[in-house]
């Protein structure tokens, strides 16, 4: 072995030659082969992998769509129709991309719910969590700008309303809005820069995902019990155990995804977006895409323009400090008899916000939105900090392997035995 080469353990000469110079095979083996993973994952732990797959699908379909799309106010709408009618399999690629956005948000929402329920944001995974929130914000920006590209009525008026949010900021507001528009209204310059950024941001997301996964592989995964693995008896190698489990989830996921694409491709969209953009007529009932509705409800719940905008941005930014708002040392809600119902109520509350966001902003709907907005923030700012001091958690299990394998205390040898098959 010459000096300067990596000590590879692969025996295949070609693999070994590469691995000695660039140990990618060793890295893959370490991070995705033998990587010790808690043995008690439930199916909630599929959603990180599903999100990764969805990002790949979005990038692949997006690149192919961009080969036919024209980012010009006069041509954009027609170029989308051409994709739907004339480009071979264009309808399929576009419907996968369109519904892929919805599926991406469904998957990521469940992924975030999982993280909140099982306390995956707590030490030592704070930065991992914050990178996740960053990915979510980038996703929102990307999805918003992607929705503008077809240049339908909802594209145009969604872009108008969302960019106008920034006009709420005193002094700099109008400057920011003109900066976003590149003019005095949403127009060709806006469409062009949105297309450019819509193409760029997914690759930024990919970079942050890499950091997210890198941080995960330092701390290791959390698990449904929220206690750290104490040794090899508590973990399984990632491959084949979790590659197999992720594959099962992936097949089910693809069935749902395909069901949406082939049987209800426009179910989650809005019919008005099949009308070409008209700067002179606002649609009577303007709503954002479903995944933005909770924040839209928060925006409308506040009677003050700036206040609404601040609360809306704050509703996600507050996730960044969640690890410091929830000081309880117990991660999993399974062992938190008080926090558990409060959190589940928060999750339902989130869905109510989603529902009310699609309703007209009048009468009872406003009141419901206001109550839900209040609870949304109270959970983070009042409930969690108080429960950290008041709540008496249930006793935590001694180890991961004991509740899984059952019975009395297991000697190391016995616990290791089922792993021999691997």
Catalog residues that contact another protein under the rule CB under 8 A.
Answer: 60, 64, 67-68, 82, 85-90, 92-93
Q: Which of 289, 326, 328, 401 is catalytic?
A: 289
Q: Which of 217, 228, 305, 391 is catalytic?
A: 217
Can you tell me whether residue 133 is helix, strand or coil? Answer: helix
What are the strands, taking DSSP E only, across 93-208?
none
Active site residue 78: no
Active site residue 217: yes
d(CA 137, CA 410): 45
Shortest reach from residue 71's CB to another protein, in Å: 18
d(CA 27, CA 217): 11
d(CA 74, CA 119): 49
d(CA 131, CA 208): 7
Please work out, in degrees rounded to the nearest 5, the angle formed at the alpha carbon of residue 333 by the alpha carbons of 329 and 335: 75
Residue 397 DSSP label: P
Active site residue 332: no
Q: Which is nearer to another protein, 184 or 263 (CB)?
A: 263
Active site residue 86: no
Shortest reach from residue 165's CB to another protein, in Å: 36
Shortest reach from residue 75's CB to another protein, in Å: 13
Helix count (H) and strand count (E) of the chain? 18, 2
Shortest reach from residue 242's CB to another protein, in Å: 15
Active site residue 421: no
Q: Which is nearer to another protein, 67 or 390 (CB)?
A: 67
What are the strands, taking DSSP E only, across 4-45?
36-38
Q: Which of 19, 246, 272, 326 is catalytic?
A: 246
Q: Which is nearer to another protein, 124 or 418 (CB)?
A: 418
Q: Which of 155, 221, 315, 399 is catalytic?
A: 221
d(CA 38, CA 248): 18
Main-chain dihedrals φ then ψ at residue 266, nearest 5 degrees? -110, 10
Q: Which is nearer to another protein, 27 or 89 (CB)?
A: 89
Q: Which is nearer to another protein, 90 or 146 (CB)?
A: 90
Helix axes 305-317, 364-378, angle to 10 degrees: 40
| Residue 87 vs residues 1, 53, 93: alpha-carbon distances, Å | 55, 25, 10
Q: Which is nearer to another protein, 1 or 67 (CB)?
A: 67
Given CA atoms 281, 287, 288, 294 in this order, what sign does their dihedral have?
positive
Shortest reach from residue 88's CB to another protein, in Å: 4
Q: Which of 111, 122, 212, 245 is catalytic?
A: 245
d(CA 354, CA 201): 25
Shortest reach from residue 420's CB to another protein, in Å: 12
Residues labelled catalytic: 217, 221, 245-246, 289
């Amino acid at each position: 072995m010459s000096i300067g080469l990596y000590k590879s353990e692969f025996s295949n000469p070609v693999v070994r030659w590469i691995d000695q110079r660039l140990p990618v095979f060793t890295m893959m083996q370490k991070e995705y082969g033998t990587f010790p993973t808690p043995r008690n994952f439930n199916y909630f732990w599929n959603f990180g992998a599903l999100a990764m797959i969805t990002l790949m699908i979005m990038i692949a379909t997006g690149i192919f769509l961009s080969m036919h799309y024209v980012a010009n106010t006069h041509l954009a709408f027609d170029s989308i129709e051409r994709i739907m009618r004339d480009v071979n399999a264009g309808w399929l690629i576009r419907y996968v991309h369109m519904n892929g956005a919805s599926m991406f948000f469904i998957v990521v929402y469940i992924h975030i719910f999982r993280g909140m329920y099982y306390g995956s944001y707590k030490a030592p995974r704070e930065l991992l969590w914050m990178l996740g929130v960053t990915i979510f914000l980038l996703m929102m920006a990307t999805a918003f700008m992607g929705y503008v590209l077809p240049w339908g009525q909802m594209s145009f008026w969604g872009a108008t309303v969302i960019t106008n949010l920034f006009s709420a900021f005193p002094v700099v507001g109008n400057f920011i809005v003109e900066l976003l528009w590149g003019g005095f209204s949403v127009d060709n310059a806006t469409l062009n820069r949105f297309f450019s950024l819509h193409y760029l941001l997914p690759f930024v997301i990919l970079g942050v995902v890499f950091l997210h996964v890198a941080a995960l592989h330092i701390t290791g995964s959390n698990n449904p019990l929220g206690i750290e693995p104490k040794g090899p008896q508590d973990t399984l190698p990632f491959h084949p155990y979790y590659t197999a489990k992720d594959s099962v989830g992936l097949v089910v996921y693809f069935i749902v995804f395909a069901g949406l694409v082939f049987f209800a491709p426009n179910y989650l969209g809005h019919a008005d977006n099949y009308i070409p953009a008209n700067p002179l007529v606002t649609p009577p009932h303007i709503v954002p895409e479903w995944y933005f509705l909770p924040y839209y409800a928060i925006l409308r719940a506040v009677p003050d323009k700036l206040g609404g905008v601040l609360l809306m941005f704050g509703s996600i930014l507050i996730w960044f400090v969640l690890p410091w708002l929830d000081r309880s040392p117990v991660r999993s809600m399974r062992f938190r008899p008080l926090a558990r119902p409060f959190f589940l109520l928060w999750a339902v509350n989130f869905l109510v916000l989603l529902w009310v966001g699609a309703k007209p902003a009048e009468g009872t709907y406003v009141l419901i939105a206001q109550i839900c907005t209040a609870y949304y923030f109270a959970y983070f700012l009042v409930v969690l900090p108080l429960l950290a001091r008041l709540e008496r958690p249930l006793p935590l299990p001694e180890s991961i392997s004991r509740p899984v394998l059952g019975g009395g205390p297991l000697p190391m040898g016995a616990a290791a035995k089922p792993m021999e098959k691997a």
